[in-house]
């Protein structure tokens, strides 16, 4: 009998060690987030939004709002997350949050707004906003970069082209305007960290210490060049090789620019390769200076206050 007890003693000690490791694992994933989502033209008891938490472009948790618009995410680890709130027919909302173990963080209540749709119309790309073309976004923020200031964004499409224009004040001798487009509203096919971009003049102009929400993936980028008089272009961005943008120029584009209007059209065939368009696309716009850290505090979409290098949301619009 003594021999049998001698074997059981180390076995029980080993099991006790496993229980300690399991407890530690649970403790490392004990952060929580809660919040409420409202709808501008509907009631939470009839609408439910998807709430996802991601880090490093990887979605780690997904839940739905309940009939009161409430959501709760539990068993998350400590760190910073991008939170994305989405519902078909509404503009996506995003924000970043830092979670800590054993603390339930309550996010600000957000109101989802019905998504705007582009006008279906043919536009003349001549540096003048066509009559009847209404802005889809207005930026009231005043830039601290002198003649480098976004005012209004215009978008339209027809059977052949996607038309985009921005109005404001643009330097004709230095600085550069970049419009990054997520053509399928999917992070799976594009980039959100613009320090990844390089390669030639356009790549060097796009590259900035700027990030977008991890749910955003820029597949295409327009860049005005330094002088609004040459060097501009529209490029495709390969997520697996973002350093080669200058060898991925789109050919079927039309561009017109001056000190108050930047306007361009991109072939839908070249963008999508088929007549099938997605339900919506997203974009961001920024104005860059001479190095990776040099950019205006005025962007599209502006969000609250001066821009510091991190987009917490993007502009989304439906076809």
Residues 108-161 have pLDDT tens digits of 999 998 888 999 999 999 999 999 999 999 999 999 898 899 999 999 999 999
Look at residues 112, 127, 151 and tell me which one is the last residue of a structural domain: 112
Q: How many domains does the chain have?
A: 2
Q: Is residue 1 part of a domain?
A: no
Instruction: Assess whether 43 and 138 both reside in one domain.
Output: no
pLDDT tens-digit readout, 236-289: 998 888 888 888 899 999 999 999 999 999 999 999 998 899 989 999 999 998
User: Can you spell out the DSSP letters for 278-305?
Assistant: PSEEEEEEEEE-SSTT-B-S--BS--SS
Task: Find the domain containing 101 and state its range.
Answer: 31-112
Task: Tell me the CATH number at 53.
Answer: 2.60.40.10
The rounded distance, in Å, linking the Cα atoms of 279 and 117 is 10
Instruction: Assess whether 95 and 211 both reside in one domain.
Output: no
Long-range Cβ pairs for the range 108-112 (8 Å, 24+): 108/35, 109/35, 109/36, 109/37, 109/38, 110/35, 110/36, 110/37, 110/38, 110/85, 111/37, 111/38, 111/39, 111/40, 112/37, 112/38, 112/39, 112/40, 112/49, 112/85, 112/87
Predicted TM-score (pTM) of the model is 0.78
Other CB atoms within 10 Å distance of the CB of residue 25: 10
Instruction: Assess whether 144 and 159 both reside in one domain.
Output: yes
Q: Is residue 53 part of a domain?
A: yes
pLDDT, the chain, mean: 87
Instruction: Assess whether 255 and 229 both reside in one domain.
Output: yes
Q: Report CA-CA distances (Å) from 51 to 2, 82, 141.
A: 59, 10, 29
Q: Give the bridge partners for 38, in sequence order.
A: 111
Handedness of CA 275, 276, 280, 286 (dihedral sign): negative
Q: Is residue 208 part of a domain?
A: yes
Predicted confidence at residue 54, as pLDDT, reads 86
Instruction: Assess whether 150 and 238 both reside in one domain.
Output: yes
Instruction: Assess whether 123 and 93 both reside in one domain.
Output: no
Look at residues 58, 86, 112 and tell me which one is the last residue of a structural domain: 112
């Amino acid at each position: 009998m003594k021999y049998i007890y001698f074997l059981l003693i180390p076995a029980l000690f080993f099991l006790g060690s496993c229980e300690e490791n399991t407890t530690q694992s649970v403790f490392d994933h004990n952060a929580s987030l809660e919040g409420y989502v409202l709808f501008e033209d509907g009631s939470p008891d009839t609408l439910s939004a998807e709430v996802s938490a991601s880090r490093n472009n990887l979605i780690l948790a997904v839940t739905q709002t309940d009939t009161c618009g409430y959501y709760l995410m539990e068993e998350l680890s400590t760190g910073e997350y991008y939170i994305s709130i989405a519902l078909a027919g509404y503009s996506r909302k995003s924000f970043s949050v830092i979670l800590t173990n054993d603390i339930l963080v309550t996010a600000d209540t957000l109101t989802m707004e019905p998504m705007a749709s582009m006008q279906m119309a043919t536009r003349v790309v001549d540096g003048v906003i066509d009559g009847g073309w209404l802005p889809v976004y207005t930026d009231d923020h005043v830039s601290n970069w002198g003649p480098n200031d976004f005012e209004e964004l215009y978008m339209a499409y027809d059977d052949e082209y996607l038309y985009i224009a921005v109005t404001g004040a643009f330097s004709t001798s230095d600085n550069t305007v970049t419009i990054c487009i997520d053509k399928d509203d999917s992070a799976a096919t594009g980039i959100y960290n613009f320090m990844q971009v390089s390669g030639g003049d356009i790549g060097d102009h796009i590259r900035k210490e700027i990030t977008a929400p991890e749910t955003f993936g820029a597949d295409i980028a327009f860049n005005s060049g330094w002088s609004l008089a040459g060097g501009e272009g529209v490029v495709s961005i390969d997520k697996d090789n973002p350093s080669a943008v200058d060898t991925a120029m789109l050919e079927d584009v039309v561009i017109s620019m001056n000190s108050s209007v930047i306007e361009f059209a991109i072939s839908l065939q070249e963008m999508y390769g088929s007549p099938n368009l997605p339900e919506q696309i997203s974009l961001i716009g920024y104005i860059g200076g001479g190095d990776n850290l040099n950019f205006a505090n005025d962007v599209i979409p502006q969000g609250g206050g001066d821009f510091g290098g991190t987009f917490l949301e993007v502009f989304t619009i439906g076809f």
